[in-house]
Amino acid sequence: MISTADFRNGLVMQIDNGLWEIVEFQHVKPGKGGAFVRTKLRNVLTGRVLERTYRSGERFEEARIEDQTWQYLYFDGDLYHFMHPESFEQLEVSKTIVGDNAQWMKENEKVVLVFHNGKIINLKVPFFVELHITKSDPGVQGDRSSGATKPATLETGATIQVPLFLDEGDTVRVDTRTGQYIERVS
């Protein structure tokens, strides 16, 4: 059991039969009345965010979350297949757990699978990935109305905005949190 004094960003707790991660928190001690903690919580499974206030000293059950690095193998149309790099154990993960992260996953690259009680509850990709541009129309010089960017399709199927000077076959670094182009990689 943990109390409000143990709160820290990233801590995962079990509240109302759900897994909630603390996004941010603030201890408040008003001049009158008891102290309390104002929190912003994110549901680990659904991503839903809500704000809650707890009395100082309230106790909660900490969830046992385990992050493991796995290698992404392939997608067969229904399931994503992963392999543990040391034990060579293979797992199948549904589309609902992978979600939008699929657009940043390249075969044979490493990802982090998040487990709770032996069950996969989430998947994390690296913050930055390097991907090849597979389709991009030529940029029209002088067209500055679009902020000097054009759409480009990456090898994983994701579409991002890139500068006009990039062509098919170029490799770019992308921020997976925002989906934005960072730089060209040589």
Same domain, 6 and 50: yes
By residue range, what is the domain housing residue 99?
65-124
Same domain, 53 and 86: no
* SS3 sequence of the chain: CEEHHHCCCCCEEEECCEEEEEEEEEEECCCCCCCEEEEEEEECCCCCEEEEEEECCCEEEECCEEEEEEEEEEECCCEEEEECCCCCCEEEEEHHHHHHHHHHCCCCCEEEEEEECCEEEEEECCCEEEEEEEEECCCCCCCCCCCCEEEEEECCCCEEEEECCCCCCCEEEEECCCCEEEEEEC
Same domain, 106 and 74: yes
Domain total in the chain: 3
**Which of the listed residues 46, 62, 78 is the one where a domain comes to its end?**
62
Residue 172's pLDDT is 94
Same domain, 54 and 69: no
**Which of the listed residues 16, 32, 62 is the one where a domain comes to its end?**
62
pTM over cut 0.85: no
Residue 160's pLDDT is 93
Residue 40's pLDDT is 95
Same domain, 103 and 141: no
Same domain, 156 and 110: no
Q: Residue 142: give its domain's CATH number.
A: 2.40.50.140
Same domain, 133 and 165: yes
pLDDT at 16 exceeding the cut of 80: yes
pLDDT at 111 exceeding the cut of 90: yes
Same domain, 161 and 178: yes
pLDDT at 1 exceeding the cut of 60: yes
Query: What are 69-109's pLDDT values in tens digits?
Result: 999 999 998 899 999 999 999 999 988 888 888 999 999 99
Same domain, 6 and 58: yes
Query: What are 120-173's pLDDT values in tens digits?
Result: 888 889 999 999 999 988 876 665 655 678 899 999 999 999 988 888 999 999
**Which of the listed residues 37, 62, 87 is the one where a domain comes to its end?**
62
Residue 174's pLDDT is 94
